[in-house]
Amino acid sequence: MPTVDLAKSSLRELNHALHQIKAGSNETAWEVINPKGSHAVAAGVDQPVQVDVRGSVGYYCGGMNDGGAITVHGSAGPGVGENMMSGTIVVKGDASQYAGATGRGGLLVIEGNASSRCGISMKGIDIVVHGNIGHMSAFMAQSGNLVVLGDAGDALGDSIYEAKLFVRGKVNSLGADCVKKKMHPKHLERLRKLLDAAGVTGVKPEEFTRYGSARTLYNFNIDNADAY
């Protein structure tokens, strides 16, 4: 297993080495030690490799990940898994703002809490947060699923499009055009799969409430101006 020590190697060397991996390579398990809050760790991975980061990372860890399985054995700074295409990112600790921003696919698991704007502008990613999420999460969320085992802060799902939000705890307030929705069997099934994939045990899909778009802001209407 290649180990990259960021106290000795540069970030550029690490990411370049990860980008050089070709399909079918045997070096499919990497370890990164001493990240010490470095930004853009394992950004742009485009092969199905496992990257274990031993420690906490700064901004944009696993940015644009496309197929990698990245585990942060610590906490993550802003924008972890931003614009992820596919693959998995697991953060063992907490995550800062904009976790999974604009993500298009794959699964992002935050085992601790996530901060504000979690899942902002998400475009197909699945995000599972074991703890709580902060304010303005899922702002303008387009598609994908955001699952929160704890509570959500203010203005959840403001200006949301077709993303689906599942919250087990309480929601401080809903944003413009975001409403509580009925949980149908297909949603329970989807939730069960997401909880399984995220390694969540002892929690039932029936404990969650679903939120999504009321679709009243989809086409401009002057009488909705106070919502804009």
Partner 1 sequence: MTYKNPPTTPRKSATFDDYTLSEIRRAAATGIYDIRGGGAKRKLPHFDDLLFLGASISRYPLEGYRERCDTSVVLGTRHAKKPIELKIPITVAGMSFGSLSGPAKEALGRGATIAGTSTTTGDGGMTEEERGHSKTLVYQYLPSRYGMNPRDLRRADAIEIVVGQGAKPGGGGMLLGQKISDRVANMRNLPKGIDQRSACRHPDWTGPDDLEIKILEIREITDWEKPIYVKIGGARPYYDTALAVKAGADVVVLDGMQGGTAATQEVFIEHVGQPTLACIRPAVQALQDLGMHRKVQLILSGGIRNGADVAKALALGADAVSIGTAALVALGDNDPRWEADYNELGTTVGAYDDWHEGKDPAGITTQDPDLMKRVDPIAAGRRLANYLKVMTLETQTIARACGKNDVHNLEPEDLVALTVEAAAMAQVPLAGTNWIPGKGGF
Q: How many CB atoms lie within 10 A of CB 79?
A: 26
| Nearest C-alpha neighbor of 167 from the set 177, 159, 181, 115 | 181
CA 171/CA 85 separation, integer angstroms: 28
Positions in 142-181 near partner 1 (CB under 8 A): 142-143, 159, 161-162
Among residues 39 and 168, whose Cβ is nearest to partner 1? 39
CA 39/CA 112 separation, integer angstroms: 20
Choice from 15, 47, 113, 132 touching partner 1 (CB under 8 A): 15
Q: How many CB atoms lie within 10 A of CB 186?
A: 8
Stretch that binds partner 1, among 29-37, 140-148, 174-182, 185-193 (CB under 8 A): 140-148
C-alpha gyration radius of the chain: 18
Stretch that binds partner 1, among 68-76, 134-142, 174-182, 198-206 (CB under 8 A): 134-142
Choice from 60, 166, 208, 211 touching partner 1 (CB under 8 A): 60
Using CB under 8 A as the binding criterion, the count of chain residues that bind partner 1 stands at 43
**Measured on CA atoms in the order 6, 12, 17, 23, is the torsion positive or negative?**
positive
Element (H, E) at 191: helix 185-197
| Residue 139 engages partner 1 in binding (rule: CB under 8 A) | yes
CB of 200 to partner 1, least distance (A): 26
| Nearest C-alpha neighbor of 143 from the set 124, 115, 168 | 124
Contact (Cβ atoms closer than 8 angstroms) between residue 129 and residue 148: yes
| Residue 27 engages partner 1 in binding (rule: CB under 8 A) | no
CB of 112 to partner 1, least distance (A): 19
Choice from 68, 74, 106, 124 touching partner 1 (CB under 8 A): 124
| Nearest C-alpha neighbor of 144 from the set 184, 198, 203, 190 | 190
Among residues 129 and 149, whose Cβ is nearest to partner 1? 129
Chain contacts with partner 1 (rule: CB under 8 A): 11-12, 15-16, 19, 39-40, 43-44, 46, 58-60, 63-64, 66, 78-79, 82-83, 85, 97-98, 101-102, 104, 117, 120-121, 123-124, 139-140, 142-143, 159, 161-162, 218-220, 222-223
